Each structure stands twice: as structure tokens, then as C-alpha cells.
Amino acid sequence: GASSNITVTHNIATFANNYGIQAEASSAVLIGSNVASDNLASGIALTAGSTGCTIQDNESFRNLTPDQSNGIYCFAAPGNLIQRNRVHDNAYNGVMIANEAGNVRAGNNVMRQNRVWNNAHQGFEDLYSTGNAHVGDVSFGNAWNGFAIEGSATGTTLYNCVAVDNGQVPG
């Protein structure tokens, strides 16, 4: 539930029946230098208005549920920093910033110097969220797009990002 000024570092979250690590309706939470893998939902999640949080230097991989499990997931969570994470081999996206259509509370997040690869859908997906910034992110070898900015995700910017060898789904 709602928490603030919490630090979650140097942990291993694996085989959870839901998110590996989640901050819900929280502020100023640091989630850093953790490993989240093989969880039923996303590896690391900020949800329900979590803001002012930092997700950095984590590795999130092999999170399991198709069409649901992202390496890092921000739903209805504005104004957060996601940096220097390694996100790979997830059943859906590497990093997903999302909200329901018409609700833009997931905006104004900064993604910086993340590496995402070999995810079953997009590398990065910004969906129904406005004003996000990607700076120096790298996306390669994902099944669909390297970067998917969609569903009225206006004001999203990409600076010095790299997307290579994405969308190479065997036919």
C-alpha cells in the first residue's frame, strides 16, 4: 500500500505469484540493484499513482505470463526515473509505461540508459501516457518494435536511443 521514502536494494525476487517487486500508491521509493525473475506478473512494478520513485541498476528477466509480464511495468505512475536497468527475455515487454485510454496519469517519466533485449513483444512501450522521455536507451532483438509510442502518447521524446534488430519474428 501507500508508502514513502522506502529503499529496496540488493534483493532477489523470484517465483512470485504476482509482481516480483511492487510499489503501489507510493512516493520517493528507490528500487535498486535487485534481480527479479521468473515471476508470474511483471518483475518490477510501480502502480496506482506511485510518483517520484527511482528504479535503477536492476536486472529483470524471464517473467512468465504472455501479454502481461513485463520486465518493468509502470501503470498509472507519473514522474518516475527508470535508469540503467537490464531487462530481457520477458513474456511481454521489456519496459512498459501505461494507463487506460483517456487517463494520462502515467506521464512525465524519464527512462535513461536502460538496455532491453529478447522480449516477446516490444522493447519499450509507452501506451496512453504523455510527456515521457527516453535518453540513451538501447533496445535490440525484441520480437516486435524496439520503441512503441502509441495510444495518444503525445509529447514523448527519444534522445540518443538505439533500436536494432527488433521485429524479427520468425514467420
In this predicted structure, what is the pLDDT of residue 170? 60
Yes or no: say if 43 and 71 are a contact pair by the CB < 8 Å rule.
yes
H-helix or E-strand containing 88? strand 86-88
Q: How far apart are CA 53 and CA 59, in angstroms?
A: 17
Residues 6+ away with beta carbon under 8 Å from 78: 49, 51, 105, 106, 107, 108, 109
pTM (2 decimals)? 0.95
Q: Say how many C-beta atoms besides its own lie within 10 A of residue 25's C-beta.
A: 16
What's the confidence (pLDDT) of residue 66? 87
- Could you tell me the mean pLDDT of each successive run of 10 residues in the chain, 171 residues long? 92 97 97 98 96 98 93 96 98 94 82 98 95 97 96 93 87 54
CA distances from 127 to 5, 38, 67, 152 (A): 28, 24, 14, 7
CA dist 69 and 77 (Å) reads 17
